[in-house]
Structure 1
């Protein structure tokens, strides 16, 4: 009866009924009524009663549900107030206190997620950590408390991009799962949350193993909850759809996207009958997936359905709903997409209107703003292409996105590219061009940070396709007459991982003089980061949970080290004279300590243009050499043509190099006569006419000489896979002319790497000065290599008393080999080599006792390494998916410390390998004092001589060229 007194029990029953009605109907009045009943019940409960905290927590939970329905911040504030009251009424040591603190953390973190207030995040984090600390491992809620803290860290990481928080969150979730009994219903929720966090890590690393693992976890959780709590099942299915969508992004398989859409439709259908409060969110996601499928298939019906769904969602979203800005943004992007098909002016206007409204409604400082700014910039550019309207705003929005301090890193990188390209195209005199490019190159380096393993960094660099990279920035700088910036950006944006390895091995003698303790800690952290970065083990489906947890502990420790490394660099740069310590090199620094005899030539290859930048001792600025007759398209065509020739001649594996050896056996009177227009000759002629000869002319290198000058080539893009050192015009029927007539060629990964070797050029320690030789003619899983033992024996005999040591076949273990690299300054491998096209760090040398992988080589830091001669196939081939990274065995030896490396760009013939090696060492040993240590200083000249001798013996037929051209010299 109205007005009649009500007991606590009756109030609870009424509240439960109203809540059940709300769940069924979605009417806000039912939820308000339920909250009112529970509040009245709480007022009847005595202060200090054991049940009061639980009652207050239930009220706060319903208030949060009301917030999710209305989006009004006041409802979050009310929930926080209720939980604070509960906490204040709980005595110290009460078992309910950790749960209440966890609730407070959840509420505050939700408010931070919606409104971006950092004080909320900090208070939430403190509450979660206090809850975990007070509870201890024996508390019945300990796993759920760990889950709460993990979720809090995940939300914070999504806002700040702090990988350390994400790694800690994943570790906490794995511990929670490990502590939860298999029959506990909460286990599925923990797996679901873990899957979501692994999904977030996937978006920062693009590691398909993360994407696959999250799908596996969620499938298991869905299966475990079939026929149980519908609310949990809906959430699990939704997260599974999210995970499948993520997997489709990296796998490229439409089947994953199709399954995601099917799962999302199922979620919408189930929710519309049982939990209408969540229906808008699930519909919004379904609309996004349909839009994504449209972009994959071009089916306009998907785009129309997607727009229809999202318009309905936006229409029914209250203005105060915290999710409205994101919904408006996604709707605007899809309108822009449809405009590109229909060219209906209303679509692009709706796109801009929705995106402007999204920005207006988003709280200042929120992590989603870069995405909104970037999308609005795209829409405005689309309109500009049609109407030439408001180009200034079209540039200002990408600049705001690129320079925003938080938010999705890849989105900010793409925005920086849009900003740079737009400014360059439409505002060519704007100083924004250089600022935008500086921003883009800085963000690009951040995408492959030291908090990831080298393998993960390679995956990230393969997956990212930035609008502007180093090779695009360089021609833009040259066109505005800034060769200094072009050089700086090519150095900064190429060989990122190579430079990271060098940074971790930077000598700290000067720093040690100023601050010994700081230098020692930086040295220790650097060493630990190298070890962590070289890890190869990845979690997999059948791995025990404890091992997964152990790997996650290693990952978390790795992220901690990376964070400490950055903090240590800040401390170092605060010391006078150390302000530029390990900062990207300025042009002025790159022009110091240049080799006295010779020239460094960096060649930029991009669709915007191709140019060479020459660095010569004595010049105070880079020397720009335009290459107007060359193009990215030509470079890629040359690469394809050469690849087809290598494939047609079966030069993929050393066992198939019989064709070369047959031609090798011919002498001058028995050579094949081949037309000068063969593909191989066209490639080398093109490189000569369009690249090398114009560079030589501009450098005034026009006369062959007895002592030709040195050229260190530093190519980019597809040119990295082409033999510049063999460029030329070869007979018959014409006068042959090639780079071999004018200069001695070497290659260098970066200018900085070469200069570092020039600066640190010093005599090799006599204790390790010597040559270690090994032949491996019969490695498992390979065909025998005839002649390798004879090759090594012949070199050994030529040593003339110099310190030389040899080991053959099974007498050498991989571990012994690594030890010998420490004991001897130089090494000669006569064996099989293999460039792994899928995982570059698993490129390897084959020994009788096992394999020596590139990943293992990179762990070495050989202070007295001199020369590595790699008489093996594919040791300087590189990875076509990482053209700007030096990812091959020769580069690995350089990274390990060798100053000079002889490698091969493709497979070599057995007889060819022997003859080049013999000529090479004959020339070197003739110039060494008997009994001295081994000196590789003249190795570039020795290889030049050996190739010229071989060429004189076998001529310039196609097969002969392919026999002598693969041998290359790296570094100083």
Structure 2
């Protein structure tokens, strides 16, 4: 053998031994976390690489080994030079690895991990994008049953989650969750790497909670992270990370549940994470930052100054240990600023607030444009500046606070909820400045109303959208109040339309007829219709199991479904842009402006929108043929008075001993004899009035009568002949006023009365747009479905017997048959949810005489109770009842609504309108089983009597409001007096729609 060959062999042999030694030290470090091991490992691996010639078969693996060792050393020391050197080696490893090499996926994955770490250090988005490309390559080149598949999937999930945190694009997060679930699903429970995959999944679920606020996401994240910690043995280098991650979830859980035990546990875990981490470790600032935040949260619960002082001290240390240019430095400045602000609010020391503002400024200055966290930093800076303005009164400080709130609210990226919080602060600081508010508050409220719509978007289920809207309830009313104060009646009306009944409006848009678009572009109309149908089905679906009861594969399937729904929502938005680019379709599905609302009103009558806010109460009246809405201030009414009426009414109803007798609630005084009927409790208002009489009288004097007088509506003497029609009014009340019976407002004494019934026939509509939509649908009924379907449930599961329902539908059945109406009835066990829905599809009108249950927490769970099972609103909404006309809901509380969402009309009556019915008869509270059959028979008798003699098929639903008023009048005549017993018997009946 030649000397040169011998030297080369010796060199290669040395390189191999060095590589093996370096690799052994690398693995020893992974077990011990001893910095000396990984430092020596990198030195030995460098020497091995130096001895390996270009083109050698082992060159790729030695490059990759050195790169990964440097990656691990960086995570221990934070020295970015290690990371950049490692990335250089890993790039070359990928370049020199032959195509098809079985190690190529590993090389891609290792390079991706190093690039993602460089992004975390520098915040440079290009590093993260390159990391994701490399990691996708690793996943695509790896069979699903390969042992490394979970590793590559988990890494990709983490990178996508990092991208979501940077850009705020929810699509990245939903993909991350789906990928993490696949990694867990592919891994046996006893696999030592399971804790890693669980940690990634828990982190992504926590990010989803941060974005959506859904507590179930957080509960699952906490459970997953707890399991990951349990699988991590003492002494493992990853133990502090697992402790930190679970502690973060526990802090969030504390805020979500208001249970202090979670925060206490979080503090304890985080202290342990800090104690387990040696000084100088790169992750020490992370653990300190978390601990400081937890302690600050603990201070807000306990008020202990020592806790806050410790939090600030720890956060100062975290900032000091964070290298200049680190991507997480803005977060640490912001957290320190929040704690210093808390100290100012406790101590009043202006120096603390001045430093807090400085910290918040630094956070904003160091955050790159487009970062999803920017709105949060801007909002925090604005709030600190507002505190300074309140303390010093400096006008420029207030101006700067407003500027930061505005910048946060209008920022092009970031969570909509965060931006909405800034918008709230923006309008509040402007509202407090003067009365009337400054004109620029209109811009602030425009932004606020828009952001409300972004918090409850189509990819979410209806149930989730309702939850999101609870925090913004009342904002559209505040906006309208400000607009009215500035003389902008048109703007007030538009905001009330855009910000109220948002969910039903979305559902209506998904079902919008597309005849004009189909004529112009049938393919585009077809695609839009298909996507709309799929979105509607996704939104109205509800889960039947809790997350604890479903398997890992089912959870993976749900994650995939969430991704699909988000993609559908994006596709729907893209199609909207495409449609609106067509000349003549620029306003397609956009909120209706005031002038459009005025063009499509009912031909006669008045639409009365009533807004109520703590500053003022006003009516906005719309009349067909007029080009401007009419503004009627109601200075004698107030939000405080309205709330008191609502509470008094609720207390009066509940002050009785409630006992269910079918649809009738037996109302007894404390000394009640238990006999069937409604007995008055003799609470008295002013001048000897009962509470009910006082409420109705107050509504009459302060709200309804001033409106009738301004409209010059005349009273018609009783008895009113049929041929003298009363004026038609559609009431559209906002806020807590929607719980009060405007249709019955009046003065009621023992012997006489004057009320709105003497002047007008009342209906309700959730929004003006909802009424317009029903006007546009017309009133012609297909002969093949014209007719009446009825069902009665005298014995529903879980409810008391209601014998009056049998009498009710038999009487109506005979009446309809005699009148030549196509009619069908189902009773008792004949009625199931499926055959009821099928029959509703086949008839234009439906009469449901049964128990009903309203679910305020989940409106889609509101349902009609049958002999066996029930029919919930979700199932009804999934049927597009496009030929439906009239629904009579002869059941209790079918238009009651939810106090947390007074402007979302979350009741069965609105749900039936959303399902397609043009008009609905419903009840505001419980109705009497003794009176219900008579009311229903009188109702249908009126409709039969008013049929066109030319022989039109079926009922004329347009006369249903008159029919209800006539039947209620008949009931009042039978009741004779105006006691609470009598008033409570007829007031519940209400009419919705056209």
Structure 2 equivalent of residue 252 of structure 1: 258
3-state SS of 1:405 partner: coil
Structure 1 pair 559–364 and aligned structure 2 pair: CA distance change class (3 A): closer
Query: Which structure 1 segments of 5+ residues have no match?
Result: none
Structure 1 equivalent of residue 203 of structure 2: 196
Structure 2 equivalent of residue 715 of structure 1: 733
Which of 614, 619, 622 is 2:626 aligned to? 619
Which of 795, 800, 818 is 1:783 aligned to? 800
- Separation in 1 of the partners of 2:309 and 2:683? 64
Structure 1 pair 674–604 and aligned structure 2 pair: CA distance change class (3 A): closer
| TM-superposed deviation, 1:424 | 4.0
Query: Which structure 2 segments of 5+ residues have no match?
Result: 1-10, 718-723
Structure 1 equivalent of residue 666 of structure 2: 658
- Separation in 1 of the partners of 2:635 and 2:16? 87
Structure 2 equivalent of residue 698 of structure 1: 710
Deviation readout 1:291-329 (Å, 9 max, x if unpaired): 223233434333222222212222332323322211111
- Separation in 1 of the partners of 2:350 and 2:653? 52
Structure 2 equivalent of residue 771 of structure 1: 788
Structure 2 equivalent of residue 440 of structure 1: 448
- Separation in 1 of the partners of 2:193 and 2:29? 25
- Separation in 2 of the partners of 1:40 and 1:362? 40
Structure 2 equivalent of residue 413 of structure 1: 420
Bigger CA drift: 311-320 or 508-517?
A: 311-320
Structure 2 equivalent of residue 853 of structure 1: 872
Residues 122-201 of structure 1: matches in 2 within 5 Å?
A: 122-201=129-208
- Contact 1:15 / 1:33 at 8 angstroms: preserved in 2? no
Structure 1 equivalent of residue 106 of structure 2: 99
- Contact 1:539 / 1:551 at 8 angstroms: preserved in 2? no
3-state SS of 1:833 partner: strand
- Separation in 2 of the partners of 1:667 and 1:43? 96
- Contact 2:21 / 2:41 at 8 angstroms: preserved in 1? no
Structure 2 equivalent of residue 925 of structure 1: 944
- Separation in 2 of the partners of 1:71 and 1:572? 51
Structure 1 pair 451–671 and aligned structure 2 pair: CA distance change class (3 A): closer
3-state SS of 1:231 partner: coil
- Separation in 2 of the partners of 1:627 and 1:284? 53
- Separation in 1 of the partners of 2:290 and 2:678? 71
| TM-superposed deviation, 1:652 | 7.8
Structure 1 equivalent of residue 569 of structure 2: 562
Bigger CA drift: 685-694 or 446-455?
A: 685-694
Which of 731, 743, 757 is 2:749 aligned to? 731
Structure 1 pair 188–441 and aligned structure 2 pair: CA distance change class (3 A): same
- Separation in 1 of the partners of 2:20 and 2:887? 80
- Contact 1:496 / 1:885 at 8 angstroms: preserved in 2? yes
- Separation in 2 of the partners of 1:662 and 1:746? 37
- Contact 2:112 / 2:132 at 8 angstroms: preserved in 1? yes
- Contact 1:803 / 1:934 at 8 angstroms: preserved in 2? no
- Separation in 1 of the partners of 2:770 and 2:167? 33
- Separation in 2 of the partners of 1:17 and 1:783? 75
Structure 1 pair 665–944 and aligned structure 2 pair: CA distance change class (3 A): farther
- Contact 1:72 / 1:321 at 8 angstroms: preserved in 2? no
- Contact 2:25 / 2:38 at 8 angstroms: preserved in 1? no
Which of 579, 593, 596 is 1:572 aligned to? 579
RMSD: 3.0
- Contact 2:15 / 2:49 at 8 angstroms: preserved in 1? no
Structure 1 equivalent of residue 4 of structure 2: none
- Separation in 1 of the partners of 2:952 and 2:528? 40
- Contact 1:12 / 1:37 at 8 angstroms: preserved in 2? no
Which of 346, 349, 360 is 2:351 aligned to? 346
- Separation in 1 of the partners of 2:659 and 2:245? 44
3-state SS of 1:628 partner: coil
How many residue pairs get matched? 962
3-state SS of 2:824 partner: strand
- Contact 2:33 / 2:237 at 8 angstroms: preserved in 1? no
- Separation in 1 of the partners of 2:409 and 2:113? 31
3-state SS of 1:189 partner: helix
- Contact 2:19 / 2:62 at 8 angstroms: preserved in 1? no
- Separation in 2 of the partners of 1:493 and 1:627? 22
| TM-superposed deviation, 1:94 | 1.2
Deviation readout 1:687-730 (Å, 9 max, x if unpaired): 22222222222222253364221111112221122211112222
- Separation in 2 of the partners of 1:784 and 1:792? 15
3-state SS of 1:903 partner: strand
- Separation in 2 of the partners of 1:224 and 1:710? 69
Which of 30, 36, 49 is 1:42 aligned to? 49
- Contact 1:15 / 1:35 at 8 angstroms: preserved in 2? no
Which of 294, 298, 303 is 1:298 aligned to? 303
Deviation readout 1:852-911 (Å, 9 max, x if unpaired): 001111112111111000000111111222222121111111111000000111111101
Structure 1 length-normalised TM: 0.93
- Contact 2:177 / 2:204 at 8 angstroms: preserved in 1? yes
Structure 1 equivalent of residue 902 of structure 2: 883
Deviation readout 1:559-599 (Å, 9 max, x if unpaired): 22111111111111111111111112212211211112111
- Contact 2:659 / 2:667 at 8 angstroms: preserved in 1? no
Which of 950, 953, 956 is 2:978 aligned to? 956
- Contact 2:78 / 2:281 at 8 angstroms: preserved in 1? no
| TM-superposed deviation, 1:349 | 0.3
- Separation in 2 of the partners of 1:243 and 1:652? 45
- Separation in 2 of the partners of 1:653 and 1:666? 11
3-state SS of 1:613 partner: strand
Bigger CA drift: 12-21 or 816-825?
A: 12-21
Residues 58-457 of structure 1: matches in 2 within 5 Å?
A: 58-64=65-71, 76-112=83-119, 117-227=124-234, 230-272=236-278, 276-389=281-394, 390-426=397-433, 432-457=440-465
Bigger CA drift: 913-922 or 621-630?
A: 621-630
- Separation in 2 of the partners of 1:640 and 1:762? 39
3-state SS of 2:547 partner: coil
- Separation in 2 of the partners of 1:704 and 1:336? 65
- Contact 1:47 / 1:89 at 8 angstroms: preserved in 2? no
3-state SS of 2:141 partner: helix
Deviation readout 1:774-824 (Å, 9 max, x if unpaired): 111011111110211111111122221122222211122221110111110
- Contact 1:671 / 1:957 at 8 angstroms: preserved in 2? no
Structure 1 pair 18–789 and aligned structure 2 pair: CA distance change class (3 A): closer
Structure 1 pair 401–114 and aligned structure 2 pair: CA distance change class (3 A): farther
| TM-superposed deviation, 1:653 | 4.5
- Separation in 1 of the partners of 2:770 and 2:104? 58
- Separation in 2 of the partners of 1:474 and 1:904? 29
Structure 2 equivalent of residue 939 of structure 1: 960
